[in-house]
Structure 1
C-alpha cells in the first residue's frame, strides 16, 4: 500500500495508487514503505515541531533515524528553550546550553529576546531548561522565567537552582496545562497545600516527577501526589526533611519509584501501588517498609551504611519482598549480601530467604561492593549459589575505588565456589574499578571456568593500574593479544581505559 503525506503532517494510506504495468499490484520494497523517514532532516525537524513530546519520544523509540533527532537538541529553536544564568564576574563556562546570561541581565532578556519569540499557548514549548549558578539572582526574575514557560504550555520542565537563590519554590498552581515531566533540583514546592484541596487545580497531564536536593517535607509530598492523579514515575533524591514516603494517593498509576539518599526517611509505604514495576532504594535502615505483593521487573536495594551492627535488624526487608519470579533486573549492595549470608543459615528465616531463590527470569544482575576481600567474595559466591538465576545474561560488578585489602588476605582462604547452575546463559560481564588485585583475578578466573557461554568481558581499570601482571609479578593472561583497548564513550567520564576481552 502506498502512503501520502497530508498537509498537517499526518500519514494516510493512498487508496488509489497507480497499478504497475501488467495490471497487477506488486508489494512495495521495504525501503519505500516508510517514506516519512526518508524525508530530509529539515523536513523531519519540522514534523517534530508539531508533535506532542510524548508522541515524539515514542517515535524515537521505534526508529533509529528519528531517535537521533529526538535525543539531541536539534529540534527547531522555537520548541526548546535552554538558559544558563551565571554570576556577573564569571566568564563563559563552555557548556552546551545555547543561551548564557548574567544574573543582572535577566530582565533585558525577557523584554527583548523572549518578547520577539512570543508568549502564550500559540508559542508552545516542548522543553524548557533553566540552570541558575548565581545565588544573587533575584527571586522575582527567577519566577518570571518560570511563568514564561508555563504561559507557553511547556511539556518538559527542568530547573536546576542548586547554586541559585535559596528558598525558591515551584508553584503547581502556575504550572503548564500540558506539563508531562517535571524535574526540580534545589527547588522547593510552594506552600499552597495549606489551602483546601477543593481550591487546588489538578495537573492531569503530569506523569514524571523528579525532586532532588531540596527540603521537601511529608505534607508537601502528599499534596503533590494528590494534585497529580496520572503520575507514573516518582524520583526522590536527597530530600533532607522528608521522613515518610507514602504513595497511597498515587497508587493507581504509579509504575516506578526511586527513593535515594534521603537521610531522614525511615518509613516507605507503597503496598497500595499494585502496578509498581520498578522500585529502587538507596539509603540507611528503615523502621518500616511495605511493598506491594505483585511481581517486580526491576529492583534495586543498596544500604549505604558502612557497617552493619546486627544483620537481623534488616529482616523486615525480606518480609516485605513480594514474589520475585518475574524480576528481570536486580541491583543489590555488599551489605545486602552480608545480611543474606547471616540469615540463610537460620531456620526461622528460611521462608524469607527462599524468596531470593525464585529468580528464574532474572536477565541482569548488578552488585555494588563497598569492599572487596576474601569474605566478600564468599558472600558473593553464597548469593550466586542461592539465587540460581539460569537465564542471567548480563553481570555488572561495581568495585570500591579505595582499597585496603592485602595480598595475604587474598590468598589466606579462598571462598567456596558455587555450583554450575546460574551461568548457562551468561554472555556479558563488566567490572568497574578493576585494580588487578589477586581476589579480583580469582573472580575473573571463576567466571572463565563457570560461564561457558561468556562472550564479552569488560574490565574498567582506573588510571595507573598495570593490566599485565598481578601483585606477584606473574602474567595474568598468557596471550595478551586477546586484550584490546576500547575507547570510552564521549559522554561517559572514565578514569583510565576499558580493557575488553573478546572470547
Structure 2
C-alpha cells in the first residue's frame, strides 16, 4: 500500500512537472506514465531533496535552450539537447536512466575514493549530500549502449558545452556513472565554482571581474561566500550578494560568524536551485514587491543559525507563489523563529526539518502538499498540525521538556492518519505525550517498519510508557527493527509489573540498544521484548559504552531464539539526523 501510494505521488509530480515544462495540453514525448521503478518501502527521502524534481526550461548559455524529459526521478539526467555545431552532432545526455541497484552504486563510490579535491567550501558538502540522496533513491544512472562513452570521447570544449546546458544535479548524477565520469564532473564543478572570502584586501569581487574578462568566460554555477578571520563590512557583503543576481548561480552557500549580515532574497540569483545560509539575517528590503520574491527553480532551502525576525518573511519565502518547486526546507538552530507555517507551500514540498527549535511553539504543515518526511526537535509544540492526507512516511519528534498540564494540553491528541508511516523516532518526552494522549494512536502504525526510542532517562514511568506503547503486538504487524538509545548514566533500578500476553511481533528481526549497562531496568526491558520475540528468531545488538563485569552480564539470560551479534553496520534510519543534532 505504501509503495503504491508513493508511485501515485511520483506520477502526480511527473505530470505536474511535464505540464510546467511543456505547457498545458502538450504531451511530453519522453513521458511514460506506465514506467515504474522498483524501490524499497522506505521513506522516499532521496526524492525529498529534489533529486527527482524537474527543472524548468532555462537558458544557461546564449542561444541554447534546455529541454528536459519529465521523467520524475531521473532528475533531468537524460535531458535531450538539440544537435548543434558545438556538440559535433551528438545528442547530449540522451535518456540516461537510473536503473542500477544500490549495491552497484556503493561499489562505484567505494572505488572512487581518490576523487578530485580542492573545490570551494560548501560544494563538497553539496555534492556529497546529493550522492547520498541518489544512494537512498535507488542507485546511480546508467546509460543505454555507449552514449555516455560517446560524450566522454568528445574534445574538452564540446563536453563542457554539454555540461553547461544540463542542470547541475544532472551533472552530479552523471558523475556517479563511472570513475572517468566522476573525474570529468569533478573537474567541471571546480571550473564553474567560485569562492569569495571577505574581508579581503581591496575589491572582494576583483577575481570575479577578472574572470569576466577572459576570452571565453566560464559560467558560475556554485557560489560560496565565506567570512575570514576579521569582521565583514556591510557594503562588501551586500555587493557580493548583489553580484549573484548578475552571474546567476544555481547553488549559493553563505557562511558567516559573529555579526549577522542581512541576506536579502530580492538581491540574489533568480536561477537558484539550492540555497544554504549559515549565521546571517534573512529578510527583505522595505518596498520589496512580490515580483522580487519569485524563484521558479528553487528546490532546497537550508538555514542554520539564521535570524528571521519577522515570521511572515519565512512564510513568504516558502509560499508557492515565491518557490513553486520547493521540495526541502531545513531549519537548524534558528533561535528567533517562534512559529512555522508551511501550509501555503507548493505541492512539491516533501521534506520539512526543524532541529533545535528552542522558541518554536507552533508548527503547521497543512494539506496542500504531500509531505513525506517531518523531523522536529526543540520546544514542546502547543500546536502541531500534520498533513491529514496520509502522505507521511517518516516522522521524528523530540521535545526538550513537557508542560505540567500535558494531560490536558496535549497537541499529540490530534494526530492524523499515519497508516503509511514506516519510520518513527520518539524521545522519552514525546513518548510520554503519546501515552498520555491515550487514544489508541498505536493503531495508526500498521505500516511501521522501524521504531527508534531516544531515552534520556529510564525511570519507572519511562518503562511504563514503553510497555504501554508496545504492549499490543498486533498494532505493529510490519515492525522489523527496534532501536533504543538508553541514557548514558544509570537510572532507578526499580521494577514494574508487566501484563503477560501470548502475542508476539510477527516480523521483528533486530533489536539494538546503545549505552547498554546491564542495569535492572534495561534487563527488564529486554525481557519484555524477549517474551514478544518472533519465534523464528531475533538478532540482539548491545552497544556497551565501557566493559561490564562478567557477573553483571550473567544477569541477562536470552532465550535460545535470540542471537547476540556485534554487527556495527546496523543503524537506524534517523541515526545521521540524531548525530547531527548531538554534535
What TM-score results when the alignment is normalised by the length of structure 2? Answer: 0.62
Supply the distance in 2 between the matched residues of 1:150 and 1:238 (Cα, whole angstroms).
28
Cα deviation for residue 204 of structure 1 reads 0.8
- The number of residue pairs the alignment matches comes to 432
What corresponds to 2:274 in structure 1?
181
What corresponds to 2:263 in structure 1?
170
What corresponds to 2:435 in structure 1?
341
Supply the distance in 2 between the matched residues of 1:310 and 1:400 (Cα, whole angstroms).
25
- Determine which of 413, 428, 431 is the counterpart of 2:496: 413
What corresponds to 2:300 in structure 1?
208
Cα deviation for residue 392 of structure 1 reads 1.8
- Determine which of 357, 366, 369 is the counterpart of 2:455: 369
What corresponds to 1:304 in structure 2?
400
Supply the distance in 2 between the matched residues of 1:79 and 1:340 (Cα, whole angstroms).
50
- Say which structure, 1 or 2, has more relative contact order (CA 8 Å, 6+ apart): 2
What corresponds to 2:425 in structure 1?
331
What corresponds to 1:220 in structure 2?
313
What corresponds to 1:360 in structure 2?
446
Cα deviation for residue 336 of structure 1 reads 2.3
SS of aligned partner of 1:381: helix
Cα deviation for residue 298 of structure 1 reads 1.7
What corresponds to 2:110 in structure 1?
none
- Cα 1:484–1:459 change in 2 (3 A) is closer
Cα deviation for residue 471 of structure 1 reads 3.8
Alignment partner of 1:290 is 2:380: no
What corresponds to 1:153 in structure 2?
248
Alignment partner of 1:381 is 2:473: no
Q: Gaps spanning 5+ residues in structure 2: where? A: 1-82, 97-141
- Determine which of 392, 409, 413 is the counterpart of 2:479: 392
Question: Which is strand-richer, 1 or 2?
Answer: 1
The 8 Å contact of residues 265 and 284 in structure 2, kept in 1 or not, is answered as no
SS of aligned partner of 1:332: strand
Larger radius of gyration: 1
Cα deviation for residue 357 of structure 1 reads 1.0
Alignment map for 1:412-431 (pairs within 5 Å): 412-413=495-496, 415-416=498-499, 420-421=503-504, 423-431=505-513
The 8 Å contact of residues 351 and 374 in structure 2, kept in 1 or not, is answered as yes
SS of aligned partner of 1:123: coil
The 8 Å contact of residues 274 and 294 in structure 1, kept in 2 or not, is answered as no
Cα deviation for residue 371 of structure 1 reads 1.0
Cα deviation for residue 442 of structure 1 reads 4.1
Cα deviation for residue 482 of structure 1 reads 6.0
- Determine which of 347, 356, 368 is the counterpart of 1:261: 356
The 8 Å contact of residues 174 and 182 in structure 2, kept in 1 or not, is answered as no
Supply the distance in 1 between the matched residues of 2:500 and 2:275 (Cα, whole angstroms).
47
Supply the distance in 1 between the matched residues of 2:479 and 2:180 (Cα, whole angstroms).
29
- Determine which of 45, 49, 52 is the counterpart of 2:167: 52
Cα deviation for residue 369 of structure 1 reads 1.4
Cα deviation for residue 177 of structure 1 reads 2.5
- Cα 1:106–1:119 change in 2 (3 A) is farther
Supply the distance in 2 between the matched residues of 1:128 and 1:417 (Cα, whole angstroms).
61
Cα deviation for residue 457 of structure 1 reads 4.2
SS of aligned partner of 1:357: helix
The 8 Å contact of residues 254 and 273 in structure 1, kept in 2 or not, is answered as no
What corresponds to 1:136 in structure 2?
231
Supply the distance in 2 between the matched residues of 1:220 and 1:456 (Cα, whole angstroms).
49
Supply the distance in 2 between the matched residues of 1:301 and 1:212 (Cα, whole angstroms).
19
Cα deviation for residue 36 of structure 1 reads 5.0
Supply the distance in 2 between the matched residues of 1:477 and 1:427 (Cα, whole angstroms).
15
SS of aligned partner of 2:200: helix
- Residues 114-123 or 442-451, more deviating: 114-123
Alignment partner of 1:115 is 2:210: yes
SS of aligned partner of 1:211: strand
Supply the distance in 2 between the matched residues of 1:109 and 1:223 (Cα, whole angstroms).
31
The 8 Å contact of residues 396 and 431 in structure 1, kept in 2 or not, is answered as yes
- Cα 1:269–1:369 change in 2 (3 A) is same
What corresponds to 1:437 in structure 2?
519
Supply the distance in 2 between the matched residues of 1:67 and 1:232 (Cα, whole angstroms).
31
Cα deviation for residue 474 of structure 1 reads 5.6
The 8 Å contact of residues 488 and 494 in structure 1, kept in 2 or not, is answered as no
- Cα 1:33–1:358 change in 2 (3 A) is same
- Cα 1:329–1:107 change in 2 (3 A) is farther
Deviations 1:243-270 (A, max 9, x none): 2322233244322222333333222333
Supply the distance in 2 between the matched residues of 1:151 and 1:120 (Cα, whole angstroms).
19
- Residues 127-136 or 216-225, more deviating: 127-136
Deviations 1:323-356 (A, max 9, x none): 1111122122211222333342xxxxxxxx2343
Supply the distance in 2 between the matched residues of 1:477 and 1:264 (Cα, whole angstroms).
45
Cα deviation for residue 208 of structure 1 reads 1.4
Cα deviation for residue 362 of structure 1 reads 1.4
Cα deviation for residue 368 of structure 1 reads 1.6
SS of aligned partner of 1:221: helix
- Residues 178-187 or 332-341, more deviating: 332-341
Supply the distance in 2 between the matched residues of 1:266 and 1:470 (Cα, whole angstroms).
48
Supply the distance in 2 between the matched residues of 1:356 and 1:399 (Cα, whole angstroms).
22
Supply the distance in 2 between the matched residues of 1:433 and 1:106 (Cα, whole angstroms).
51
Alignment partner of 1:7 is 2:90: yes
